[in-house]
Amino acid sequence: MLKVIHPGFFTTIQDTGRYGYREKGVPVSGCMDNYSASIANSLLENEETDAAMEITMTGPKLEFHTSSFFAITGAEMSPNLNGIPVNSYEVHKANQGDVLSFGKLINGFRSYLAVKGGFLTEVKLTSRSFYKPITDLNCIKERMEIPIEEYTEYSPKISHIKPEAWHKEHELIVFKGPEYKILKEDQLKLLFTNKFTIAKENNRMAYQLEELIGANSHRMLTSATLPGTVQLTPAGKLIMLMRDGQTTGGYPRVLQLDTKSIALLSQKKFGDKVSLHPLRH
């Protein structure tokens, strides 16, 4: 068991997502940066679908009441075990009573903590991913006790890997959305030549970009959306749906992010810059 001493800014339990319920309006959810989460699970030889802890901007303080092994990937948040710095992208052992905490955010925006065997929170609709009201909580709370398996011995095949810097990149790969053809030449030029600024309106549901690309008056019926769908508002603002994004929407779906770009975007914060690049075949 892992006890939450301090929850951090916004810390959740996520796995690969909740599928098969979109027709009922239930988002996929799951790890925003599923690429980094999968690396953490791989280091511990977990299943890819095992739940990890998604840590946003400011890390939690956690006490191990059970011996275990853990790995941290994604954003660099200066992790410490009992006050001693530990490396990300490396397997570490935690004994009963050890305290894991986080310090300064150095790069990126979301870290992923995996433990051997995964976090064993309640399964709701085939997934452990937090998403209220499907789950009781939308993030972990102070004094919460999170179940994990006990592991006193483990010899990893790969104990560490070189930290990757891919999430420092700014190019998002996109392909054409269903309403791509409504875009005018001047809008297309702005889309693929400008750098865009991440707006303060960014969370697990959607990321907005500050710069406008021109108004549109296209009317459409509410239609299906996916994580990574890029919508264009009447005012010309771009909204990029993320893992907790709604399952339908009434704005034109002009672009779609590829999977890796959803992960990259999730590592961006307010004020960061991104650029859009069409998928090349």
**What are the tens digits of pLDDT across the range 177-214?**
999 999 999 999 999 999 999 999 999 999 999 999 99
**Do 15 and 153 belong to one domain?**
yes
Look up residue 54 and give its two tokens. 């998604």
Query: Same domain for 45 and 153?
Result: yes
* Shared-domain flag, residues 9 and 86: yes
Q: Do 77 and 183 have their domain in common?
A: no
Split at pLDDT 50, 70, 90, the class of 280 is: low
Q: Please indicate, yes or no, whether residues 27 and 115 belong to a single structural domain of this protein.
A: yes
Of the residues 118, 135, 166, the one at which a domain ends: 166
Do 79 and 194 meet the contact criterion of CB atoms below 8 Å apart?
A: no
Q: The domain containing residue 215 runs over which residues? A: 169-278
Of 108, 131, 166, the one marking the end of a domain is 166
Same domain, 244 and 126: no
- The per-residue pLDDT for range 130-146, each reduced to its tens digit, is 999 999 999 999 999 99
- The answer to whether 148 and 66 are in contact (CB under 8 A) is yes
Residue 279: the pLDDT is: 76
Other Cβ atoms closer than 10 A to 147:
12
Give the side-chain half-sphere CA count within 13 A for 139.
15
**Are residues 129 and 150 both part of a single domain?**
yes
The 10 Å Cβ neighbour count of residue 219 is: 8
Residues 181 and 97 in one domain: no
Do 118 and 188 share a domain, yes or no?
no
- Residue identified by tokens 């959306």 is 225
From 166, 195, 210, give the residue that closes a domain: 166
Tokens of 160: 């560490």
1-59 pLDDT tens trace: 999 999 999 999 999 999 999 999 999 999 999 999 999 999 999 999 999 999 999 99
Task: Give me the sign of the Cα torsion angle 15, 20, 26, 32.
Answer: positive
Radius of gyration of the chain (CA): 20
Q: Residue 68: name the closest of 49, 50, 48 by CA.
A: 50
Domain count, the chain: 2
Asked whether residue 136 falls in the same domain as residue 244, the answer is no
Threshold 0.85, pTM exceeds:
yes
| Digit-coded pLDDT (tens) for 218-229 | 888 899 999 999
How does residue 70 score in pLDDT terms, banded at 50, 70 and 90?
Answer: very high
Same domain as 41, residue 159:
yes
Residue range 71-88: mean pLDDT, rounded? 97
Query: Residues 6 or more apart from 157 whose CB is under 8 A from it?
Result: 45
Specify the DSSP class assigned to residue 280: P
DSSP structure class, residue 157:
S
* CATH number for position 262: 2.40.100.10
